Chain A
Amino acid sequence: MTARFKNCLLTFFVLAILITMLITMPSYAHHSRAMFDDSNPLELVGTVEQWQFTNPHVFIILNVTDENGESKIWTLEGLGVNGLVRDGWTPETLLPGDKIMVSVNPLFSGGSGGSYFNLRWEDGSEINPSTGRP
């Protein structure tokens, strides 16, 4: 494989990741995203405490344990019910105790809140509400 071909492949994958992120980013109607740091997303793995299927945004209350064994509750904002329900999401899509992985645009202030996207089960598989729970 030539260096030029490797560079092409690398460029392709970087672009693919960026495009995927843009597609999976939440669309926002209700409020500005100025408070969220969209440039530095976090990856969180944790246990669902609550799945609040509410407007103007749904929320995941996620219990995340860090490498020191300390747990922290994150308040993670998603889209609105009205868009999600048309894609098959319901109040039962997530249940307390579910282990999930999620990308988060955190609050600029450094608090344990943010805007989530790219929601997956703990093993990295897609959460697809139309196919039901695993």
Chain B
Amino acid sequence: MMKLLTKPVSFLSAAKPASAAVIAALIISGCSPQETENMQEADMASVSSPAYPDWHGQWHQANQRLQWPTQGYEQDGPPPLNDEYMARWQQVRDDQAAGIPPDEPTQRCLPQGMPRIMKAVYPLEIIITPEITYIYAEWNSQFRRIFTDGRDWPGYILPSFNGYSIGEWHDEDNDGVYDALLVETRAIKGPRLYDGQLVPFHDNNETVILEEFRLLDDMNMQNTITSIDDALTEPWVVSQYYRRQLDDIIWAEYACMENNSQLKLGDEWYFINDDGTLDPTREGQPRLVPEVLD
């Protein structure tokens, strides 16, 4: 399986030891304090790291990819699923067209996981620190941590729905400010789907997700998302766009179990009425009335 970032190296962490080594060499060589100071300043300027970008604000889904009727990444072309998973996907869609609700993890209030969280159905916030970039997703009120401190992959990673992410900042136009964040995410737990179009991942949950975040202008961002998964015949590359809001920002809590009307019993979905009775969601299902209500 292709992995593009096998050992991320942070520009920041690489710069510090180099600078210290130069200063130590200057002192040992007998330069005067003033000379040392001047050279130190010159050295610091030559090796100083680019500044971090200003990506604050509230980032909204810009290309409306999860409105109803649900639209997914397959708008950019069919997902390159292998025959087995293409057949599975077709079956799920056929069932849905026949009125049979799919086994949609978010319907059970499970986190949407990577990369679906990055569809930004509800907005995102990006909080940049030198060591970690946090992405807060309002859907399910959850954080992603993208480690940018130069660490290597741990020997063991406990799988999680959003996975374990390591990132690298790049100053692609050499203007002294980072403008691209490249991220690799592994150890992603299932069950997951790409989006409401129900495109599946492989059951082995060995998905690797690569992301490239770049500002298109001050108010718009592109995230190029590459999914590498054993259900695919080739990496699936899609783009998600975000639009920035800077004024009158509202953040709202999202607690999915607060009032979820969807209940799965066995293989069947039921709709919970306000009186606690369970309505079938398709023809032929029995209407269930909990004993406590009899």
A contact residues vs B (CB 8 Å cutoff): 25-35, 50, 52, 54-57, 59, 61, 73, 75, 77, 80-83, 85-86, 107-109, 111-113
Shortest distance in angstroms between B98's beta carbon and chain A's nearest beta carbon?
Answer: 8
On whether A29 and B287 interact (CB within 8 A), knowing A54-B259, A56-B256, A107-B279, the answer reads no
Shortest distance in angstroms between A130's beta carbon and chain B's nearest beta carbon?
Answer: 13
Flag if A59 contacts B68 (CB, 8 Å): no
Contact of A82 among B100, B138, B287 (CB under 8 A): B138
Contact pattern, B 184-223, Cβ under 8 Å of A = 1, otherwise 0:
0000000000001010000000000000000000000000
CA distance A31 to B281 in the complex (A): 12
Flag if A29 contacts B258 (CB, 8 Å): no
Contact pattern, B 239-270, Cβ under 8 Å of A = 1, otherwise 0:
00000000000101111101111100000010
Flag if B274 contacts A31 (CB, 8 Å): no
Contact partners of A33 in chain B: CB under 8 A: 68, 70
Interface residues of B in 267-286 (CB under 8 A from A): 269, 271-275, 279-283, 285
CA distance A56 to B110 in the complex (A): 12
Flag if B261 contacts A55 (CB, 8 Å): no
Can you show 10 pairs from A to B with CB atoms below 8 A apart?
Answer: A26-B68, A28-B70, A30-B107, A31-B107, A32-B107, A54-B259, A59-B259, A59-B261, A81-B252, A85-B252
Flag if B99 contacts A35 (CB, 8 Å): yes
Contact pattern, B 57-81, Cβ under 8 Å of A = 1, otherwise 0:
0000000001110100000000000
Q: Please name the residue on chain A nearest to B58 by beta carbon.
A: A86
CA distance A108 to B250 in the complex (A): 36
Contact partners of A113 in chain B: CB under 8 A: 261, 271, 273, 279
Flag if A31 contacts B101 (CB, 8 Å): yes
Q: Is the interface of B mostly helix, strand, loop or mixed?
A: loop
Shortest distance in angstroms between B136's beta carbon and chain A's nearest beta carbon?
Answer: 13
Q: Is the interface of A mostly helix, strand, loop or mixed?
A: loop
Flag if A30 contacts B66 (CB, 8 Å): no
Is B224's CB within 8 Å of the partner chain A? no
Contact of B104 among A26, A27, A31, A112 (CB under 8 A): A31
Is B13's CB within 8 Å of the partner chain A? no
On whether A111 and B279 interact (CB within 8 A), knowing A27-B67, A56-B256, A85-B252, the answer reads yes
Give the residue among A26, A27, A29, A50 with the most B Cβ atoms within 10 A: A29
Contact partners of A80 in chain B: CB under 8 A: 122, 254
Flag if A27 contacts B66 (CB, 8 Å): yes
Contact partners of B258 in chain A: CB under 8 A: 54-56
Flag if A34 contacts B102 (CB, 8 Å): yes
Contact partners of A111 in chain B: CB under 8 A: 271, 273, 279-280, 287
On whether A31 and B106 interact (CB within 8 A), knowing A55-B256, A57-B259, A82-B252, the answer reads yes
Q: Please name the residue on chain B nearest to A108 by beta carbon.
A: B99
Contact of A29 among B106, B250, B260, B281 (CB under 8 A): B106
CA distance A111 to B67 in the complex (A): 26
On whether A35 and B196 interact (CB within 8 A), knowing A77-B261, A81-B252, the answer reads no
CA distance A54 to B272 in the complex (A): 15
Flag if B274 contacts A73 (CB, 8 Å): yes
Flag if B106 contacts A82 (CB, 8 Å): no
Is B87's CB within 8 Å of the partner chain A? no
Q: Which 8 A-B pairs have the closest CB atoms?
A: A111-B279, A35-B281, A54-B259, A31-B107, A109-B280, A29-B121, A34-B101, A27-B67
Is B48's CB within 8 Å of the partner chain A? no
CA distance A32 to B101 in the complex (A): 6
Is B91's CB within 8 Å of the partner chain A? no
Contact partners of A83 in chain B: CB under 8 A: 122
Flag if B274 contacts A59 (CB, 8 Å): yes
CA distance A81 to B280 in the complex (A): 25
CA distance A111 to B273 in the complex (A): 9
